[in-house]
Structure formats: structure tokens, C-alpha cells
């Protein structure tokens, strides 16, 4: 939405004029917006109305994330002596010093600790937008409460100059998006690539059994 108009002391917008700002970034639904600065009637002979602007660039609709890691994952929990009747996993111990599993614990599993997933996906990118069309209705007021109307301009699509009448001061405005046709952007990078590495830590070996009861002997 246009965030500033230009107030001119000369008719037909013939001088450089001064910029008058309106906080349309905060107020985009036709709320009353105070002019900054206020322009008294003796300094106002014409006004340049600026149109809405099509966004200068397009963002991809989705930024992708790397595919999930697929494999067998394990969580080692402290061993508590007694009956593991409700335990849904395997009962495991550390291997012997030579790396072998003792009798009764024939299930040998190797896992790597502290997996760090540093993968990212390269972004897709878009070209400049084209074909968009936006129009705004601009209502100007003599007072900051938007009750004393001075002029209404419908369908502002290009910069437009309006001459003012005597006693027209500029104190506030309502700016309403009247028509919006989003433009289109052609993709410039259509393929997202996975970059980065998966870093693994120390290898841990578990010797496991499906037994649910372990006795001290």
C-alpha cells in the first residue's frame, strides 16, 4: 500500500513538494491514518497520490527440509534388578573386554552415539514478479479524526495529481485496497539439494537377550 503522498505548494504538482507519510504498514483496512507532517491550506495547492506497489520479489511457497533419517535407533536405560515383565525392550549388557558377547547375550548390536544432523536444503528461488495489478481508493481529510472530507479518489493505479481547493489542508487519510491481482513469478532454481553431513560419535556395542529376569548369579 502507498505509504506516502506528495504535497505541493504549486498547482498541477509543478514543484518538488514535500513527502507526507501515512502508516499504511500498520493500518491496511481503511483505518483513519494521521498525516506526518500535517499540511496547512496555505502550503497546499496540489497533491500527488501514489498507487499500491506490486511486491518487488517473490518468495518460494515452501522451504524444504532434509528427508528424515531412516534406521534403527536405540535408547539405553539404567538396569534395575528384578522382574522386567512390563519392559518392552531388550535386556542388554556391555561386551566382554575383547568385544565379544557372553553366553546368553547373543544379540550383538552396534550403535553410534551423538548423531549430529548438519544437513540443510538449498533454497528454491523465483524471478521477478510480472502481471500484477493493484488499485487503491484514497480518501483525504482536513482533520485528524477523518470526519471532514476534502476529496475521494477511486481506483488509483498510477501516480495521480489532484489540484486542491481553498481551505484544503491535509491532516489524515483512509487508504483502501480496492483491487488486487497477484502477479506471477517464474522459478529460477527449481531443484533443492541436500547439503551438509551427518556426524556420528563413538560406536557403542550392546550384548542383548530377550530374557525379562536377570538374577545376581
pLDDT digit string (tens) for 166-178? 889 999 999 999 9
Q: What pLDDT score does 140 carry? A: 97
Q: What pLDDT score does 81 carry? A: 64
Task: Summarize the confidence of residues 76-93 as an average pLDDT.
Answer: 69
Q: What cell was used for 6?
A: 506528495
Task: Summarize the confidence of residues 39-68 as an average pLDDT.
Answer: 89
Q: What pLDDT score does 39 carry? A: 96
pLDDT at 214 over 60: no
Q: Which pLDDT band, with edges at 50, 70 and 90, does 30 fall under?
A: very high
> How far does the chain reach from its first CA to its final CA, in angstroms?
80
Q: What pLDDT score does 189 carry? A: 86
Kindly tell me the burial class for residue 57, based on how many C-beta atoms sit within 10 Å of its own C-beta (0-12, 13-18, 19 or more): exposed
Among candidate residues 2, 54, 47, the one with its CA nearest the CA of residue 23: 2
Q: What percent of the chain has pLDDT over 70?
A: 92
Q: What cell was used for 187?
A: 522459478
Q: Which pLDDT band, with edges at 50, 70 and 90, does 216 fall under?
A: very low
Amino acid at each position: 500500500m502507498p505509504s506516502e503522498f506528495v504535497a505541493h505548494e504549486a498547482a498541477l504538482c509543478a514543484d518538488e513538494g514535500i513527502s507526507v507519510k501515512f502508516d499504511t504498514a500498520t493500518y491496511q483496512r481503511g483505518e483513519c491514518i494521521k498525516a506526518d507532517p500535517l499540511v496547512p491550506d496555505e502550503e497546499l495547492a496540489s497533491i500527488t497520490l501514489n498507487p499500491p506497489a506490486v511486491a518487488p520479489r517473490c518468495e518460494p511457497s515452501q522451504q524444504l527440509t532434509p528427508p528424515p533419517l531412516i534406521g534403527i535407533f536405540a535408547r539405553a536405560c539404567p538396569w534395575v534388578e528384578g522382574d522386567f515383565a512390563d519392559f518392552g525392550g531388550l535386556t542388554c549388557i556391555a561386551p566382554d573386554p575383547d568385544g565379544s558377547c557372553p553366553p546368553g547375550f547373543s544379540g550383538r548390536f552396534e550403535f553410534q552415539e551423538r548423531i549430529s544432523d548438519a544437513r540443510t536444503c538449498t533454497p528454491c528461488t523465483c524471478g521477478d514478479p510480472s502481471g500484477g495489478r493493484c488499485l487503491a481508493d484514497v480518501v483525504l481529510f482536513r482533520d485528524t479524526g477523518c470526519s471532514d472530507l476534502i476529496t475521494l479518489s477511486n481506483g488509483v493505479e498510477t501516480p495521480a495529481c489532484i489540484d486542491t481547493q481553498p481551505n484544503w489542508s491535509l491532516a489524515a487519510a483512509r487508504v483502501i485496497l480496492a483491487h488486487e491481482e497477484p502477479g506471477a513469478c517464474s522459478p529460477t532454481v527449481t531443484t533443492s539439494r541436500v547439503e551438509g553431513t551427518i556426524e556420528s560419535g563413538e560406536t557403542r556395542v550392546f550384548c542383548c537377550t530377550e530374557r525379562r529376569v536377570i538374577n545376581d548369579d
